[in-house]
Chain A
Amino acid sequence: MPDRVLPGIGLLIRLGAGAVWIFAGVAKITDLPHFHDQVEKYKLLPHALDAPFAYTLPFVEVLVGIYLAVGLLTRLAAAAGCILMLLFLIALTQAWARGLSLDCGCFGTLVQEKVGFWAIVRDTALAIPSLVMLIWPARTLSLDRRLFGSPDPFRRGAAAPA
């Protein structure tokens, strides 16, 4: 395989992971009161925490997405992404198990999908790029490489990542 293919694949996965988070965050930011309503409907958090959570999470998602896209603190951003995705999967699964008929709210008002098996499958699939970045943080065209000289695990001959 040519030497550029694997790093290219790594870069694409990293950009994909970043795009997912940026899209998810921006979609929610465009209608924060609606997202607040969605969070309330899950009935997971104490009522007093619904609003602070709903008004913070989308910005955190955008931040995670930007860090992944530019490849800055890639592994840390991917870890944050994986934790968020795990929380979403727990929320979706418990809502599905409780038989709640909710709009997922995963992408604000831009994508509407009921909580259920397929929403869980989709979120699991969307978690994969972040998970890959957690294990092998791709550093081609990344700030990690430029600022810290971090090796790219997708590049043949790279030292094992720290």
Chain B
Amino acid sequence: MGKAARAKQQRRVAPPPPVGKQSARDQNRKTVIVATAGLVAAVAVIAIVLLVTRSSPSVPKAAPETASDKNASASLIAAADAVNFHPTTEAGVGVIENKSADSAPPIDPTLLPVGSVAPTFTLKTPEGKSYSLSQYRGKTVLLEFFATWCPHCNAEAPHLRKIALSFAKNTGLAFLSVNADGETAPSIYAFHRYYGLPYPALVDSSSQPGSFNAPGAPGPVSTKYKVESYPTFYLVGPTGKIVWRNDGEQPDALMRELLTKYAARA
């Protein structure tokens, strides 16, 4: 082997470390692996603690039935009773409603943009009464897309009821909710009745019908509004343009701020 080749060979193959050094390295390796296992265990513990210490859920309370729900047909009431609706909840929900306006979740950019024209629609309540978005032209409309089984929507419902009642005398405002999971009329009626909601809940039927007991798929109106999660909110101004939108539960303070700010002037 030539001198140059030998030198190259020496460069390529690192000399084995001395025995003492090697055993120290082996010891280091063991220590690092044990420490890493400890860190992974610590991460698991942190995650479990965070999960467990999330705010414990409180079950949203029922409210008195509205007159329209009381006057529903016997067949609808019977079908709604058969749904066996009960409020759903889970850890972490029903918290943000009581926080300050600036604790709202970030705006979901995938929703229809502010300034765009809100898609028009005509939908019916479970009782069969029609409502069109266009009939509210001149008013600001808070539009909520919800599902009856969704814990976030259940948490939000009593808050929306309170807010709607407190703005009841404001003629420049209206509230509408649209079921966004293609649920059946009895499911929607049962939800509306339980929470005593003072505004209509509309049926948006889809090719994959859902119910309180079985998730479905969004109907055509919900799809037009790009609803991917529940609840989704749109605030539609008096000219029919979207002035605000977001999804997820919202602080009551923010809702009140927005409704006060954007309410149509009578």
Which of the residues B21, B47, B109, B228 comes within 8 Å of A52, measured between beta carbons?
B47
Q: Which of B29-46 contact A (CB under 8 A)?
A: 29, 32-33, 36, 39-40, 43-44, 46
Q: Which of chain A's residues have a CB closer than 8 A to the CB of B36?
A: 67, 73
Q: Which of A40-74 contact B (CB under 8 A)?
A: 40-41, 51-52, 55-56, 59-60, 63, 67, 72-73
Q: Which of chain B's residues have a CB closer than 8 A to the CB of A147?
A: 25, 28-29, 32
Q: Which of chain A's residues have a CB closer than 8 A to the CB of B220?
A: none
Contact yes or no, B248 A37, CB < 8 A: yes
Cα–Cα, bound, A103→B248 (Å): 13
Q: Which of chain A's residues have a CB closer than 8 A to the CB of B17?
A: 149
Q: How many residues of A contact B (CB 8 A)?
A: 33
Cα–Cα, bound, A141→B47 (Å): 31
**Which residue of the partner chain B has the closest CB to A158?**
B14
Cα–Cα, bound, A112→B106 (Å): 10
Q: Which of chain B's residues have a CB closer than 8 A to the CB of A40?
A: 229
Q: Which of chain A's residues have a CB closer than 8 A to the CB of B47?
A: 52, 55-56, 59
- Whether A63 contacts B226 in the complex (CB less than 8 A), given A36-B92, A51-B51, A114-B110, comes out as no
Instruction: Kindly list 9 other residue pairs between chains A and B, CB separation below 8 angstroms, not including A55-B50, A147-B32.
Output: A32-B50, A51-B51, A60-B43, A63-B43, A73-B32, A101-B228, A112-B106, A112-B109, A114-B110
Interface residues of B (CB under 8 A from A): 11-14, 17, 21, 25, 28-29, 32-33, 36, 39-40, 43-44, 46-47, 50-51, 54, 91-92, 105-106, 108-110, 226, 228-229, 248
